[in-house]
Amino acid sequence: MRLQALDLRLLVLLLVLLLQPVYGTPRAQDMSLGVDWLTRYGYLPPADPSQAQLQSLEKLQDAIKVMQRFAGLPETGQMDTETIAAMHKPRCSLPDILGAAELVRRRRRYALSGSVWKKRTLTWSIQSFPQSFQSSQSIVRALMSHALAVWAVESGLTFQEVDSQHQEPDILIHFSRGYHQDSYPFDGPGGTLAHAFFPGEHPISGDTHFDDEETWTYGSQGALPGASEARRE
């Protein structure tokens, strides 16, 4: 009997410990996700190593509120379930909010390079294919071609596939993992799916990168030009 009472107390204690994250303070891993996410997408300034201190709780709550406003959620300032779910949604990796320094930098970049193409025909090439599509590269090429055809109708541009061995294309497409030689490392499964660079004269302008730690698939339903079946699982 004593043993059973002890078991029961342990069970209650365990339940309290397990339930606490739901009703009490947010779990450490949620806070860590929150700080990471808010910093990545421009809601929090990058941590300053010279200050040797973490983001203050007040600043963090303010940043969460701005994010919630942006996402159309109740502005609780808390890492609640809805907020965490919104942060887990797949997205592109451009920041939502630009700091003043970043705005000046971008304006300067636009002034130098211009943010429009100075030609109407753009060349493209796929440099590397997704792991999940190694055996069917022609499907990836067909899907890209189809996606660009949609953009061609809207933009009046013409897109032409070229062999990147012989010609530097305007739009170089690759599937990469983690750090891949630009300032926007990928984050593994979920989160960021892809990003692309603005038009311009720089070799990277127009280039389009996809996170290869996502599982890219092309659905079995519908004909190829039917289109929207390529997705992340």
183 is written with which tokens?
């300032």
In the stretch 181-200, what mask flags binding to Zn ion with x, by CB under 5 A?
Answer: -x-x----------------
149 is written with which tokens?
């055809």
Among the listed ranges 31-39, 171-179, 187-195, 224-232, the one in contact with Ca ion (CB under 5 A) is 187-195
Q: Residues 36, 82, 96, 187: which binds Ca ion (CB under 5 A)? A: 187
Q: Which residues neighbour 232 within 8 Å (Cβ) at sequence distance 6 or greater? A: 90, 193, 214, 215, 216, 217
Dist. CA 208–CA 126, nearest whole Å = 9
- Which residue in the shown chain puts its C-beta closest to Ca ion? 211
To Ca ion, the closest distance from the beta carbon of 146 in angstroms equals: 23
Among the listed ranges 10-18, 61-69, 153-161, 202-210, the one in contact with Zn ion (CB under 5 A) is 202-210
Q: Tell me if 202 contacts Zn ion by CB under 5 A.
A: no
Tell me which of Ca ion, Zn ion, none is bound by residue 187, counting a contact when its beta carbon lies within the kind-specific cut-off of 5 to 8 angstroms. Ca ion
- Which residue in the shown chain puts its C-beta closest to Zn ion? 209
Tell me which of Ca ion, Zn ion, none is bound by residue 191, counting a contact when its beta carbon lies within the kind-specific cut-off of 5 to 8 angstroms. Ca ion
Nearer to Zn ion, 65 or 209 (CB): 209
- Please say whether the beta carbons of 64 and 83 come within 8 A: yes
Q: Long-range contacts made by residues 136-144, C-beta under 8 angstroms, separation at least 24? A: 139/218, 139/224, 142/224, 143/218, 143/224, 143/230, 144/173
To Ca ion, the closest distance from the beta carbon of 232 in angstroms equals: 8
Q: Tell me if 209 contacts Zn ion by CB under 5 A.
A: yes
Dist. CA 174–CA 69, nearest whole Å = 34
190 is written with which tokens?
């979920």
Q: Tell me if 203 contacts Zn ion by CB under 5 A.
A: no
User: What beta strand segments (E) does 31-84 contain?
Assistant: none
Which helix or strand (DSSP H or E) is residue 123 part of?
A: strand 121-126
Q: Under the rule (CB under 5 A), what is the footprint of Ca ion?
A: 187, 191-192, 211
Q: Under the rule (CB under 5 A), what is the footprint of Zn ion?
A: 182, 184, 209
